[in-house]
Structure 1
């Protein structure tokens, strides 16, 4: 066993340019590796098991002083070399040429292998990888997501499907998530490959550490063996991206309202259960205080646990706190108003629609939503709730009912005449 471990480590050392001799990877760590224990990686360390596994497989080695340095950053060249050695990763159908001019000699074969396996696309760079720079989490997400598209073409479709989704990371809500990394971040979060930090940021500009890479190696191997549809979180992100809502996944009993329950003044041939048909369209309102559009509609069950819990639960709902009425679910809606009345207030916003689920009156007020910096109507109002911005975009907070005594159709009609209408048909 010891001999196999050291052989794997030696192979990686050769890939990293004789790092054993240079001291950057360590030189005499046989004892530490034999027991797979490092003095700076206690058994209580969050990545201890993954680190030991990565060392055992030869992806990493420790340092001469018996440490692993789990918080040290990993360079692009080092990560490319690791990804290039994933034996279960197939080669991409379309092979790109390694035309990088700044890759050190020791890493050229590793970078070429990572390119061949689809992790890195030279076409996305301008001839330079910046190989010695620390790999950021955003670029890591991009590399891993691209690798998944080689394993299963549906992951490629997923990357397209999430383009217009709501991403459960603070940077999304604050507008700081780079557009060229957004889709990859969505897939990374949706599959559980990566997660947000304690500050709720994904941290696209933060460096990737040795401990994180050790964990990601194991996670990637697991995700690559699964279908994209196996991940509810990714299914939700795709649904929101394509239609504007995760209703069909979290509350599938809500389907198109039967004709007999639709207002007879509405032509039933214009009725649809496809939310994308009314997404980002001006809706017919009850009052003329403002024009109103809906960008996204998120449903969260406060009762679901484990893998059934919505990926949006930690964004909007405080852990263990159930404030809904008689078994109802949370209904969060992203509104855009074009205010016509300069003195319009929150109460008048609430009068635009008549729905307990689609309600522009109130916004989320949980600790969770505050930590993610969810835009609320309070951000755009002053004394007495008067709006200070004529074009606010904020999230509303409502309830999706399942109690038969409370259920009524959720009906929204665009100014063009398309009607979205759904009701619990269980």
Structure 2
């Protein structure tokens, strides 16, 4: 009978991902359980997640298996993850939680799922009657759960989830159009906070499952992010600013301010106070006044990357556009612009595209050619051009590369005007 009981408990541990207590195995004491934490047969000190795993076990988020293993590569199910999140004691609960209407949650996980809902990680309204409780949790859904939890910790994280709706996300799925709108905001905040990252192939891996080792690391990161104010996270600030305005300039180059009236030339009856702005959102996705009539042009997004800052202060977009080790001379920053063209001429080539704005900063002539940019598979001029650089489509959307000069001795005001008459103009105040 005793052997049968132990066998049943071991089976339960395997079923729920190791949640059955080690102390329940043959009378193992708390001290013995603590000693077992540091001696998992499959988690040597050299394991990439060993520190996070030991920490998670010591805090009671995970427990090992009866055979002395942790099984770090085993996928985590939704029911298991909900039960883990329910154990986060520092996570506040919502004043009023959504009702738990799931019909497919096993008995052992019902309390955990209900608590995870109360703590804001899971929104039942996003599902029908079933959670898919025993299915492996995929990374896209993991991002949703964790960022929803953050919004309960600090309402500004909730605001961030809204702010990034129209942002540029540094993941291959975004640039290739494979990132669903329903998961876009969560992925953006997960990347901007450092909770999650892209893989070596530059993908976020929306449909990849999450292992026990990965969850241990995520729990450690979540605890750190939850103690940090959103405003203190530069990457998140960039994503929010791009989402709201179309550019990260105010985060990367704080010295750029609205061009004073004495330094800007207006035409006709234009009045400075009526038309000049430093709010890029007012010219984003508007038709821009061009030097030639080859095409109508809009700017969707403008990303600035400074290569002369320490690596810990780099733009979150640095790995997307710039190869490691590349540096521009002081006084220059990379300028990457996402253009939409409506080609009006019978044929237009890249050189003519470059003359549309006659601007070193907003330059539609050529796209970035870095290994980094190519690996993200973002749209580029080469996707649309034929022989001799002629465009083969009438409405290309692609990224161009230019330069932004900063330092008053090197540059004049940076100015573009919409066909509606709004003038965006900024000037370096250094």
Q: How does 1:104-119 map to 2 (within 5 A)?
A: 104-119=106-121
CA distance in 1, matches of 2:306, 2:235: 14
* 1:343 maps onto 2:353 in alignment: no
Q: Which residue of 2 is the match for residue 199 of structure 1?
A: 201
Distance in 1 of aligned mates of 2:244 and 2:48: 36
Aligned residues: 411
What TM-score comes out, normalization by structure 2 length? Answer: 0.91
| Residue 63 of structure 1: aligned partner | 65
- Superimposed CA distance per residue, residues 306-338 of structure 1 (whole angstroms, 9 cap, x where no aligned partner): 43211111111111112x344301110000000
CA contact (8 A) 1:232 1:307 kept: no
Matched, 1:154 2:159: no
**In 1, Cα distance between equivalents of 2:292 and 2:406:** 28
Is structure 2 residue 305 aligned with structure 1 residue 300?
A: yes
- Is contact 1:342–1:390 with CA below 8 Å preserved after alignment? no
Aligned pair in 2 of structure 1 residues 22, 416: CA closer, same or farther (>3 Å)?
closer
Q: Which residue of 1 aligns with 2:13?
A: 20
**5 Å matches for 1:62-81?**
62-81=64-83
Displacement after TM superposition at 1:94 (Å): 2.5
- Per the TM alignment, residue 133 of structure 1 is displaced from its structure 2 partner at its CA by 0.2
Q: Does 1:125 align with 2:130?
A: no
Task: State the Cα deviation string for residues 234-278 of structure 1 (Å, max 9, x = none).
Answer: 000000000000000100111111111111425322100000000
Distance between the aligned counterparts of 1:170 and 1:36, measured in 2? 38
Q: Is the 8 A contact 1:118 1:147 kept in 2?
A: yes
Alignment of 1:93-242 (within 5 A): 93-242=95-244
Q: Secondary structure at the match of 1:336?
A: strand
Whole-Å separation in 2 of the counterparts to 1:115 and 1:378: 48
SS at match of 2:102: coil
Structure 2 partner of 1:399:
403
Give SS of 1:347's match: helix
Secondary structure of the 1:196 match is coil
> Among residues 312, 316, 336, which one is paired with 2:321 in the alignment?
316
- Write the distance in 2 (CA, Å) between the matches of 1:209 and 1:220: 16
Q: CA RMSD in A?
A: 2.0
Moved over 6 A (4+): none
Deviates more, 1:403-412 or 1:187-196: 403-412
Check the 8 A contact 2:407/2:428 in 1, yes or no.
no
Decide whether the 8 Å contact of 1:326 with 1:403 is kept in 2: no
1:30-61: per-residue Cα shift (whole Å, max 9, x none)?
67953523333232222110011111112222
Match of 1:213, SS? helix
Residue deviations 1:55-109, cap 9 Å, x none?
Answer: 1112222234433222211000000000011111111123111110000000000
Partner of 1:286: 291
Structure 1 residues 64 and 387, CA gap change in structure 2 (3 angstroms)? same
Tell me the residue number matched to 1:353: 357
